């Protein structure tokens, strides 16, 4: 059987994979995406939501995905940080308002299932993007001229570039020979969605507790999502509770804000861990999403980083194609590695520090965190700079995240 040939093959059809495939197709790459459907087991639904920050929403707008997602997403205008550690060194409550830095919300929160459904619908409508449903890639063989991907069903594909979006246990990363540094925390994040009797006013409430943050993020209507970080024992106890009992626990932790809690839907718990890579691309393979970086779900950074990977890779490949060069060549891979290195490493460091400063019993760390929050509370220019950097790196964003993105020649965007 002769192998189907593409400019780029994306391995993994999760949110980062679809976003990458769509971005690549938008800049003119003949692209395939291969992998199992996201969340195939209805008995174990993906209970997570993603707070998509401004630049990620702009990427979805520029690639024609946003209109398929917008109706399922709630804007996020305010973030409240409440020190609920009960420690001696307590920080003040800090409120971040998006109107302090512009007329846009910080971002929009959407269920992962709705996000992936919107991405998939957009991908299905793109003539230069093939969706290949498969149990997965089993072999990836980089060569001088191209790279071969063998799927579990026996089909062979070739391309000049592979985007490895196959998650934490990425076989793309293995095929690229890229080594990792991985670590774990004695914490788990419980994720579920719930309804409440009081409006959320498009506000996220982040209670900083000794075991980790307890964060609600608005969803459309009187609904919110919850990421509740706990010790593994406590997370397992919470997972075992019935719907009424968990609603009661949530209500107690929320201390009256959001009113009565009901409809605490399916719940899942995710062990907290971290992973970083020694480089982002090698041997015709570029890593995106959790194949390239894993961080705890604190500060809504994980998938937003994955979206910036997708947009940066599309920009590097587009620039090569415009010059008639190889989109999987060494120059493209080096440019991609350079584009992602600082952004990813600074976020991995910041999220790790935030988490450790919260759970640590060490007074100097607690004091540093408290002082940071005091300064953010009291100094408006510092607070504004912090908000801007939290949304996106101020050192620059890929073109597909600009507002509005310049359309590459001959390519229709949207």
Q: Which residues bind ligand FAD (CB under 6 A)?
A: 11-17, 34-36, 38, 48, 50-51, 136-137, 165-167, 171, 189, 191, 227, 270, 289-290, 297, 300-304, 306
CA distances from 322 to 89, 135, 317, 374 (A): 57, 34, 9, 49
How large is the C-alpha radius of gyration of the chain?
A: 21
What are the tokens at 17?
A: 């994979």
CB of 165 to ligand FAD, least distance (A): 5
Closer residue to ligand FAD (CB): 306 or 408: 306
Closer residue to ligand FAD (CB): 46 or 251: 46
d(CA 328, CA 332): 6
Closer residue to ligand FAD (CB): 212 or 289: 289
CB of 22 to ligand FAD, least distance (A): 13
d(CA 385, CA 224): 27
Q: What are phi and psi of 239, to 5 degrees?
A: -60, -30
Cβ proximity of 247 and 261 under 8 Å: yes
CB of 282 to ligand FAD, least distance (A): 18
Closer residue to ligand FAD (CB): 238 or 320: 238
Tokens 């009797």 sit at which residue? 197
- Short-list 201, 306, 287, 192, CA closest to 249: 192
Closer residue to ligand FAD (CB): 200 or 408: 200
CA distances from 219 to 72, 110, 305 (A): 8, 7, 21
Q: Cα 152 vs. chain centroid, distance in angstroms? A: 27
Closer residue to ligand FAD (CB): 295 or 317: 295
Closer residue to ligand FAD (CB): 229 or 332: 229
What are the tokens at 319?
A: 């620039």
CB of 307 to ligand FAD, least distance (A): 8
Closer residue to ligand FAD (CB): 69 or 320: 69
CB of 375 to ligand FAD, least distance (A): 25
Q: Is the dihedral of CA 380, 382, 388, 390 positive or negative?
A: negative
Q: What are phi and psi of 189, to 5 degrees?
A: -110, 120
Cβ proximity of 271 and 158 under 8 Å: no
CB of 98 to ligand FAD, least distance (A): 16
Number of helical H runs and strand E runs in the chain: 11, 20
CB of 28 to ligand FAD, least distance (A): 23
Closer residue to ligand FAD (CB): 320 or 358: 358
CB of 228 to ligand FAD, least distance (A): 9
* Pairing relationship of beta strands 180-196 and 268-277 according to DSSP bridges: antiparallel
State the number of CA atoms in the 13 A half-sphere of 150 facing the CB.
8
CA distances from 112 to 100, 116, 400 (A): 28, 6, 22
CB of 281 to ligand FAD, least distance (A): 16
């Amino acid at each position: 059987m002769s192998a189907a040939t593409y400019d780029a093959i994306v391995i993994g059809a999760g949110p980062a994979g679809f976003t990458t495939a769509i971005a690549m197709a938008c800049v003119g790459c003949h692209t395939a995406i291969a992998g199992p459907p996201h969340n195939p087991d209805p008995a174990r639904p993906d209970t997570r939501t993603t707070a998509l920050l401004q630049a990620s929403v702009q990427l979805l707008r520029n690639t024609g995905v946003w209109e398929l997602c917008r109706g399922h997403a709630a804007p996020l205008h305010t973030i409240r940080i409440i020190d609920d550690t009960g420690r001696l060194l307590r920080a003040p409550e800090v409120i971040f308002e998006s109107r302090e830095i512009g007329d846009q919300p910080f971002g929009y929160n959407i269920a992962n299932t709705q996000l992936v459904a919107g991405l998939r619908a957009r991908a299905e409508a793109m003539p230069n993007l093939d969706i290949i449903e498969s149990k997965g890639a089993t072999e990836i063989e980089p060569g001088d001229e191209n790279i071969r991907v063998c799927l579990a069903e026996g089909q062979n594909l070739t391309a000049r570039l592979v985007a490895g979006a196959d998650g934490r246990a990425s076989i793309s990363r293995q095929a690229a020979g890229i080594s990792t540094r991985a670590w774990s925390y004695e914490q788990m994040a419980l994720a579920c969605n719930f309804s409440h009797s009081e409006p959320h006013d498009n506000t996220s409430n982040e209670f900083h507790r000794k075991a980790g943050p307890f964060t609600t993020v608005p969803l459309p209507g009187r609904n919110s999502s919850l990421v509740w970080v706990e010790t593994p024992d406590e997370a397992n106890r919470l997972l075992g509770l019935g719907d009424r009992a968990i609603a009661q626990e949530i209500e107690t932790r929320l201390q009256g804000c959001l009113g009565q809690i009901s409809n605490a839907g399916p719940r899942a718990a995710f062990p907290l861990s971290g992973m970083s890579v020694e480089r982002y691309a090698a041997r015709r393979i570029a890593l995106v999403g959790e194949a390239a970086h894993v961080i705890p779900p604190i500060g809504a950074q994980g998938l937003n980083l994955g979206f910036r990977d997708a947009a940066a890779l599309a920009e590097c490949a587009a620039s090569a194609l415009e010059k008639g060069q190889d989109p999987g060549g060494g120059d493209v891979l080096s440019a991609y590695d350079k584009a992602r290195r600082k952004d990813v490493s600074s976020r991995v460091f910041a999220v790790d520090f935030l988490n450790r400063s919260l759970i640590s019993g060490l007074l100097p760390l607690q004091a540093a965190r408290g002082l940071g929050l005091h300064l953010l509370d009291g100094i408006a220019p510092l607070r504004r700079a912090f908000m801007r950097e939290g949304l996106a790196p101020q050192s620059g964003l890929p073109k597909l995240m600009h507002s509005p993105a310049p359309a590459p020649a001959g390519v229709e965007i949207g």
